[in-house]
Structure 1
Amino acid sequence: MKGTFAALRVPNFRLFFAGQSISLVGTWMQAVAQSWLVLELSRSGTVLGLVVAAQFLPVLLGGPYAGLIADRADKRRLLMATQTSLGILALVLGLLTVTHVVRLWMVVVLALALGAVSAVDNPTRQAFVPEVVGPGMLRNAVSLNSVMVNAARAVGPAVAGVLIASVGVGVCFLTNAVSFAAVLLALRLMRTSRLRPAPAVARGPGQLTEGLRHVRGTAGLWVPLAMMALIGTLAFEFPVVLPLLARTGLHGDARTYGFMTSAMGLGAVVGGLAVAAFGQAGVVPLIGAAAGFALALAAAAAIPWLPLELAVLACVGVGSTVFLATGNTTLQLVSDPSLRGRVMALWSVTFLGSTPLGGPVVGVVAQHLGPRAGLALGAGACLAAAVLGLLALPRIPPEHRFLERRAVREQPPPAVTETDRS
């Protein structure tokens, strides 16, 4: 288990990890609070699906260009700008809510703005990780990032559920706004001389299509992206399905929803730690992860009793994290470093940008056939993705089926200079 936390030996990654850990608790609080607020304002699963779709529409439409921005920019400075913007948006929504002037159209507008900033923030954040730790510890760092995200998913929704029930939904948005100070401070304190930036891409014609050609010509990239497109569209619609399952399927309240999301988060922490310690990247492990995710979702769709549902949702959390961490690491290691931002933007498009397509579909299914049908639809998508991966396996080069398990050790950092900070 010594290698499980190896990436934390890198000082810059420790800062990044600590700042994100605090900020992401607030982010998950906002995700739960926003879904609950929309459900209170509309009383409709279909509307909830449409609002969630609106938030991720900018990722679908602008994701590839956002990846090009990430490849061109100083990623650390760009992250400071995006994180500041996300904090301001959370503050505005919080103030509108606590003053009782919030309306559904305001939530939609702010969700669109949040999605526009996230379209740039997500690929930049993912492409920044290799610059912080180097290739030797990339798999470990990605897995620890998954642990961090899902630990926040365990804590944030539970806190949000208690706050919503006690002091109101607006406090969750305000708390999230304050939490962005942690990640901004961490980015500011990083030693820039110890980063390993990929060469900045100069402006030129055909750069968007260059990234698409790279993916199209590399089966080790397009197969994971196609699998993620299926799963991202129909399986990762938890902000739509879980509030309805909590309210109509299990006859609970905001605290029930918070506990359900937290159970998934706790399971995901376990899954992330397992990947960090023992996981392997490549298309074959990704196929296995998709199949395991399908089984967990199918079980969650069938369970009628809350305590057992929480246990099964923890298994769903394990499956989701193993799939995401395996796919993310596979793309990072297979892609050309100069094109990594554009490749990871496509990952964001298939994961987050697919929500405008899947959110309304899952919302309608959950509204008219019940939230358990929405979970079953996600299970079917995961199974279809696993079958797709198996059918495409003959096209995958042997070196991309099981990626070499790189030594988990810190690469020699660049020499420290007087320009440590900027």
Structure 2
Amino acid sequence: MPVIRRPRGRNPWRSLRYRSMRWWSAANLVSNAGTWMQLTVQNLLVLQVTGSAAMTGLSLAVQAGPGLLLGLAGGAAVDAWPRKLTAAVSQVALGLVAFTTAALVALDALNVPTLLLLAAVTGVISTVDGPATALLGNDLVPRRDVPSAIALGSAVHSVGRLAGTALAGGAVLLFGTASAFVANGLSFVLVAAVIPFLRLVDRATDDSTEGLGQPAPAPATTVPATPVDDGARAGLRFFLARPQLMLLAAITALSSIFGRNYALTLAVLVTGPLAAGPGGFSTVSTALAVGGIAGALLAGVLQRPSVRLVAAMSAIGAVLQIATGLTPTLGLLILLVIPMAVVESVADTAGTTVLQTDPPPAMRGRVLGVWRSLSTGWGLVGPPAMGLLMELAGARTALVIGGLLVAVPAAAGLLVHARRGRATAPAGAPAGATPDAAAPAPVPAARAEPELVPAG
């Protein structure tokens, strides 16, 4: 089938030119809204059932635990199994869990052991569903449109969060708590129903990277499937041997632990030193959401994201965080958090692109599995670490210290990279140009078939 060439452009919505991406994005918008409807009432439900804040925290840990322990195995399964079938089955499975929870809530039969079991089952399914749906979304657009598609996914997530949070209150008021779980279950079923009709891009004929400083892709090769256990070990070895992925993990870990716990750090700052109360924090949260959407639009024009861009955005965000720790008024804080959210969104888009395109196609599920385990780990470490720091040093000092712990390593890494680039720049290249800037670098053998495509 002949390849349809489309204008390259930098329109952040350019991935919507493809019908399958339009269907996928619409389904995921509904799914995100359903998920946030459930999340909005879930913690209150757990607290109501258990009567214990500690048990509420335990239920969250039980749901996150499989991602930490089984993320790599889930990614290996995604590499070994048919992608569309895997994604559809995992979505149906998550829907069944949501419907089961809704039925138990409606019948007033939800107890603590059952609640923890459902949380654990959700966590296990998600170890497969996460990489499966992300990589399936990647197959819907040509390589050059990956930043647009990932940015679109970020915007869908932000809009779905706002819509789901807003709808949750009305749904619970009109139809009861179980309705949030029913809505989430239906949203999973919708995504599963759309998947069979999605049209994947033929990577063997996709030459959309021509003119972007990248060579046309090599013909696709068949990679024999490996057992899940052996594949998981191979994925970990690949990740550890890939400097670019290790650097991305280091930058993201620092940012996630010391720089992105806004639900905690800004809540303490707003209700404490700034004395603005819950209403003030609600305004700050809205500003963060607006900045996130704006950042997604900005990230959509990217065509060659890199780890260096992630480091630069992380450093800028850390400097803004330091400024928030020093801000004297709520109004100034709101002006600062909007660009904070913008640079975070750009960094996320660039990092996601690198993460999903640096490995060869047969290894991507396992790489996402490794990432899920790592991100779950620092997601569990971050809030207690920043909470302890704020308890010991105060909200303002903790924000400043956390910002420095992110900004200094990120800036140092950028400086080292720039010096190495100048030292290795070929003769005749412009002053300060890196090898990449002077001429397109050859694609390593392990990346003979790069895929620049989005998360769903």
Using structure 1 for the length normalisation, give the TM-score.
Answer: 0.78
CA–CA separation in structure 1 for the residues paired with 2:126 and 2:379: 13
Q: Which residue of 1 aligns with 2:447?
A: none
Q: How does 1:5-404 map to 2 (within 5 A)?
A: 5-38=13-46, 49-98=57-106, 102=110, 106-160=114-168, 169-191=177-199, 199=222, 201-204=224-227, 206-237=230-261, 251-252=277-278, 261-278=285-302, 280-299=304-323, 312-362=336-386, 379=403, 382-383=406-407, 386-387=410-411, 389-390=413-414, 393=417
Deviation at 1:215, TM superposition (A): 2.3
> 1:54 touches 1:356 (CA, 8 Å); kept in 2?
no
Change (3 A) 1:232 1:2: closer
Deviation at 1:329, TM superposition (A): 0.7
> 1:297 touches 1:379 (CA, 8 Å); kept in 2?
yes
Change (3 A) 1:211 1:401: farther
Deviation at 1:187, TM superposition (A): 0.8
Give the residue type in structure 2 aligned to 1:322: V
Change (3 A) 1:395 1:222: farther
Give the residue type in structure 1 aligned to 2:366: R
SS of aligned partner of 1:145:
helix
Deviation at 1:110, TM superposition (A): 2.9
Deviation at 1:94, TM superposition (A): 3.4
Deviation at 1:299, TM superposition (A): 4.8
Deviation at 1:257, TM superposition (A): 7.1
Change (3 A) 1:290 1:238: same
Change (3 A) 1:134 1:280: closer
SS of aligned partner of 1:252:
helix
CA–CA separation in structure 2 for the residues paired with 1:176 and 1:222: 35
Give the residue type in structure 1 aligned to 2:154: S
Change (3 A) 1:233 1:37: farther
SS of aligned partner of 1:277:
coil
Deviation at 1:338, TM superposition (A): 1.6
Higher RCO by CA contacts (8 Å cutoff, separation 6 or greater): 1
Considering only aligned residues, what root-mean-square deviation do their CA atoms show, in Å? 4.1
SS of aligned partner of 1:227:
helix
CA–CA separation in structure 1 for the residues paired with 2:49 and 2:439: 48
Where do 5+ consecutive residues of structure 1 fail to align? 406-422
Give the residue type in structure 2 aligned to 1:356: L
Deviation at 1:62, TM superposition (A): 0.9
Deviation at 1:162, TM superposition (A): 5.6
Identity between Structure 1 and Structure 2 (%): 25
CA–CA separation in structure 2 for the residues paired with 1:310 and 1:68: 43
1:32-64 Cα shifts (integer Å, max 9, x gaps): 333444566778876655543332221111111
1:331-354 Cα shifts (integer Å, max 9, x gaps): 223222221111122222233343
Deviation at 1:5, TM superposition (A): 1.5
Greater share of residues in helix: 1
Change (3 A) 1:22 1:402: farther
- Point out the structure with max Rg over C-alpha: 2
CA–CA separation in structure 1 for the residues paired with 2:178 and 2:325: 31
Farther-moved stretch of structure 1 (116-125 vs 392-401): 392-401
Give the residue type in structure 2 aligned to 1:203: T
Where do 5+ consecutive residues of structure 2 fail to align? 1-8, 205-219, 425-433, 442-456
Give the residue type in structure 2 aligned to 1:221: L
Change (3 A) 1:169 1:221: same
Change (3 A) 1:401 1:376: farther
Give the residue type in structure 2 aligned to 1:268: G
> 1:46 touches 1:364 (CA, 8 Å); kept in 2?
no
1:129-184 Cα shifts (integer Å, max 9, x gaps): 33222322222222221222122223222333565678765443332222223212
Change (3 A) 1:206 1:185: closer
Deviation at 1:272, TM superposition (A): 0.7
Deviation at 1:403, TM superposition (A): 12
Farther-moved stretch of structure 1 (184-193 vs 23-32): 184-193
Give the residue type in structure 2 aligned to 1:191: R
> 2:257 touches 2:385 (CA, 8 Å); kept in 1?
no
CA–CA separation in structure 2 for the residues paired with 1:282 and 1:403: 16
Q: Which residue of 2 aligns with 1:4?
A: 12
SS of aligned partner of 2:21:
helix
Using structure 2 for the length normalisation, give the TM-score.
Answer: 0.73
Q: Which residue of 2 aligns with 1:419?
A: none
> 2:12 touches 2:297 (CA, 8 Å); kept in 1?
yes
CA–CA separation in structure 1 for the residues paired with 2:289 and 2:191: 21
> 2:321 touches 2:399 (CA, 8 Å); kept in 1?
yes
1:207-235 Cα shifts (integer Å, max 9, x gaps): 22322232233212211022223333454
> 2:171 touches 2:179 (CA, 8 Å); kept in 1?
yes
> 2:140 touches 2:199 (CA, 8 Å); kept in 1?
no
CA–CA separation in structure 1 for the residues paired with 2:109 and 2:155: 37
Instruction: Work out the number of aligned pairs and report it.
Output: 403
